[in-house]
């Protein structure tokens, strides 16, 4: 069964950087790491390389393997070097522990603008999930996104986007 990351879940982070991965996200990480040894906790890969983003992006082992395969298949080029740096170099790989937690390193907490403690929002995006500082999250997902979609009108149902041509 191939699950996807869905929903918005707030989680507190303590002064040591410990944060619980939401239970429904842990299920997807479990499903997305079929090659791990029996009894091992699932891998989680966090991408932080794109400085234009105000969030971290979490990948299951399977989803990251798909990204890596696409990058490996590319010819050597500036695009491949940038993607290699963003998705292979500027990442942090960890395991979700038996209690469902990770310890988010200080540089990643700083990148999100967290103080000693705070709250994170885990936002499912299908194959991946975003980790936001909860203070920044509401403004980041505002209605302005709809204004950027060509052909979308104010009175349209958001589900109409599913039938619109790209």
- How are beta strands 8-13 and 118-124 bridged, if at all? antiparallel
Q: Which of 5, 19, 50, 23 is nearest to 114 (CA)?
A: 19
- Per domain, the residue ranges of the chain are 8-163
Q: Which option is the CATH number for 8-163: 3.40.50.970, 3.40.1550.20, 3.40.50.10420, 3.50.50.60?
A: 3.40.1550.20
* Structure-derived torsion over alpha carbons of residues 53, 55, 59, 65, reported in degrees to the nearest 10: 20
User: What one-character DSSP code corresponds to residue 89?
Assistant: I
Q: State the pTM of this model.
A: 0.87
Q: Which parts of the chain have pLDDT scores under 50?
A: 1
State residue 141's pLDDT score. 76
* Phi and psi at residue 108, to the nearest 5°: -75, -35
State residue 65's pLDDT score. 96
Q: What is the pLDDT of residues 70-94, one digit of tens each?
A: 999 999 999 999 999 999 999 999 9
d(C-alpha 78, C-alpha 39), whole Å: 41
112 close to 17: Cβ distance less than 8 angstroms: no
State residue 148's pLDDT score. 67
State residue 146's pLDDT score. 62
């Amino acid at each position: 069964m191939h699950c996807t990351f869905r929903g918005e879940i707030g989680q507190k982070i303590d002064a040591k950087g410990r944060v619980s991965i939401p239970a429904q996200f842990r299920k997807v990480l479990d499903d997305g790491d079929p090659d791990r040894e029996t009894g091992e906790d699932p891998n989680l890969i966090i991408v932080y390389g794109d400085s234009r983003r105000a969030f971290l992006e979490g990948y299951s082992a399977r989803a990251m393997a798909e990204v890596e395969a696409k990058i490996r298949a590319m010819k050597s080029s500036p695009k491949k070097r940038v993607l290699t740096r963003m998705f292979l170099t500027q990442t942090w790989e960890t395991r979700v522990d038996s209690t469902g937690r990770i310890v988010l390193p200080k540089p990643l907490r700083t990148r999100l603008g967290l103080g000693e403690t705070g709250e994170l929002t885990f936002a499912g995006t299908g194959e991946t999930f975003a980790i936001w500082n909860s203070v920044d999250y509401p403004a980041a997902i505002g209605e302005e996104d709809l204004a950027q979609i060509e052909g979308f009108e104010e009175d349209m149902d958001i589900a109409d986007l599913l039938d619109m041509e790209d």
